[in-house]
Chains A and B, each alone.
Chain A
Amino acid sequence: MSSQLELKELVKEYKGFRAVDKINIQIQKGDILSLLGPSGCGKTTTLRMIAGLLTPTEGDVFLAGEKITEKPPYKRDIAMVFQNYALFPHMRVYGNVVYGLKNRGIKDKKILRKKAEEVLSIVQLEGVEDRFPRQLSGGQQQRVSLARAMVVEPKIMLFDEPLSNLDAKLRVQTRIEIRNLLKQLNITAIYVTHDQEEALTISDWIAVMNKGRIEQLASPTELYSMPKTKFVADFIGHANLLEGVVEKISEGHVEVMLHNGILVHCISPAKIHVGDKRFILVRPENINLFPVESTEENLFDAVVEERNFLGSVVRYKVRLASGIALECEIHPDYAFAEVRDAVKVQFNKEKMVLVG
């Protein structure tokens, strides 16, 4: 099956500095892929190469099977939503929305009017056609820029951190709306963000980028539960990373000796050898706290250092007798332990993953 967008060995170099370093991505029609990473990781550079606003140093871009590496942006069948919306300030909302249609040769006023009305009703902004962008709120401007991009029915829609100028609450609401809209209209999209929560909720696939390379490309669930590298484990969600040495490899799982002498079992997606020094990821929600008098097996002694009530969970910071600090999240009903209490810690064995 040919993919809707393919990036092949894409490189962008600036005077000896590789902003993007041999990136390979393939996505199918209707899928939403996020490029996620810290600032300077090359995610925006990659997006701009897909848009044609930058020319790659090496490699190729294919859109629906056609090589578009050398094509200027105005000949690619794409649309883009910008961080600052980039609505033309001298045009009314209507002028902004039909701009792309006019460039595609549609001149009939009736068709233009009808399409604009349709798309504005999809983004729930009826009746603002005659306003200027400056007369709209940030959220409304964001919807207009979404409508302006969507109305041309592009082969792919590009998003450059489109929610970072909205306030927190609106951001959470809008990202769900954007996802529903893209899914409903079966639009293929590339979404650039540095906000991992946003990436997790909005995408089918996430490519975590670091220093111009893709660290891991996987579904949000896989990325969270089976991160391949320490960087990914640390970047997505909260992570406890424990250093250890591989002791024994059996089918599906490995035994790892933590540097404090505790032997733990864990799953391992990566290729490893006995004697390798690796990190084990334990998510805070996969650690349980027991009263100090418990006699269940696999319990480790620890002391509570911090206790933060966050509403749906209580986040603890505990320190094992061996000196390792752990973060764990406990349901408030079971959050009996107070600061400086002695407790016993249990790791959820099925959820310990060897990374990097």
Chain B
Amino acid sequence: MRKYKVAGTIFNSVVYLFLLLPLIVVIITSFGEGNRAVFPTHGFTLKWYSEALHNVDFFESVFISLKIAVVSTLISAVLGTMVSLYFWKTKGRLKEIFELVFMAPMVVPTVVYAVAFLLAFSSWKFVVPYWKLVLSYCAIQIPYVIRSVTAALYGLDVSFEEASLVLGARPMKTLYKVTLPCIKRGIISGIIFAFVVSFDEAVIIMFLRNASTVTYPLRLYTHITEQFSPMVSAFSAVFILISFVVIYVIERIFGLSNMYQ
């Protein structure tokens, strides 16, 4: 038994190392003295962090990305939850068709969607670039919300809803007071997934790029193709740190240990 345990621990460590190594490399290169982000590095400096701090373009892009991600995540969370509730309550052919339509962005390559959005918006000229991105991102975010909310709904006992109705709560009140609180965890994890999908998006933006909507991934890509200085690594290192903090906080507030049932 002991032998298996040791083997298991080693295997686990290797997998974690494999997952974390790229991040570690990024962090290491951010301290390098050279003008290009290469590994292994030589020397140690913090100048790339101070340069990152003073790069207005990067901050502007982060802000645009956030502005898009927050709005598109809100829209997709509401729509995705509504669609999930519909799927939960309905059976039949129509539901199957809708399921296919809504879940497609998860299996169809994003490039295909990117082309589709480009074509669609080229005929809808009245949509400003910002909303083009928000709406496009919504379409690819919704399946993530649906997947996570649906999982929560299928684990939900219908008798909670029934108890609420029998105790005199109208269907809408039942939804707000009982059903939604019961699937809170599913909605929150859906929101996290959706936010990451939007903030991270690097394919659609290539097709719908516009001078007013240079998102963070696009800015990063442009910088890498033109300069590739360790400032990119410094910026990324900060993002890695922020991500870990956010995940930790979410785990503490909504984590398994503190959730009901």
A contact residues vs B (CB 8 Å cutoff): 51-53, 72-74, 76, 78-80, 82-84, 86-90, 99-100, 103-104, 132, 134, 148-149, 152, 158
Contact = CB atoms under 8 A, between A and B. Distances in A.
A336 B260 CA distance: 59
Grouping DSSP codes into helix (H, G, I), strand (E, B) and loop, the B interface class, with mixed when no group exceeds half, is helix
A333 to B, nearest CB: 50
Contacts of A53: 162, 165-166
Interface in B144-185: 157, 159-160, 162-171, 173-174, 177-178, 181-182, 184
A152 B260 CA distance: 26
Contacts of B171: 74
Nearest to B170: A74
B164 A99 contact: yes
A80 B167 CA distance: 8
Contacts, number: 71
Interface of B: 157, 159-160, 162-171, 173-174, 177-178, 181-182, 184, 260-261
Contacts of A73: 162, 165-166
Contacts of A78: 166
Given A82-B159, A84-B157, A90 B181 contact: yes
Given A79-B166, A152-B168, A86 B260 contact: no
B162 A134 contact: no
A74 B169 contact: yes
Contacts of A82: 159, 162-163
Contacts of A134: 260-261
A82 B165 CA distance: 13
A287 to B, nearest CB: 45
A34 B261 CA distance: 32
B167 A152 contact: yes
Contacts of A84: 157, 159
A90 B169 contact: no
B168 A74 contact: yes
Contacts of A74: 165-171, 174
21 contacts: A52-B165, A52-B166, A53-B162, A73-B166, A74-B166, A74-B168, A74-B170, A74-B171, A80-B163, A80-B166, A82-B162, A83-B159, A84-B159, A86-B159, A86-B160, A88-B163, A99-B164, A99-B177, A103-B167, A152-B167, A152-B168
A104 B160 contact: no
A89 B167 contact: no
B157 to A, nearest CB: 7
Given A76-B166, A90-B182, 6 more contacts: A52-B165, A72-B165, A74-B168, A78-B166, A79-B167, A82-B163
B153 to A, nearest CB: 15
Contact of A132 (B157, B160, B167, B260): B260
Contacts of B169: 74, 99, 103
A80 B173 CA distance: 18
Contacts of B165: 52-53, 72-74
Contacts of B163: 80, 82, 86-88
B111 to A, nearest CB: 42
B260 A104 contact: no
A84 B260 CA distance: 16
Given A82-B159, A86-B159, A132-B260, A103 B166 contact: no
A106 B170 CA distance: 15
A86 B157 contact: yes
- The 8 lowest CB-CB distance pairs between A and B, nearest first, are A103-B168, A100-B167, A86-B159, A86-B163, A89-B260, A73-B165, A90-B181, A80-B166
A152 B168 CA distance: 10
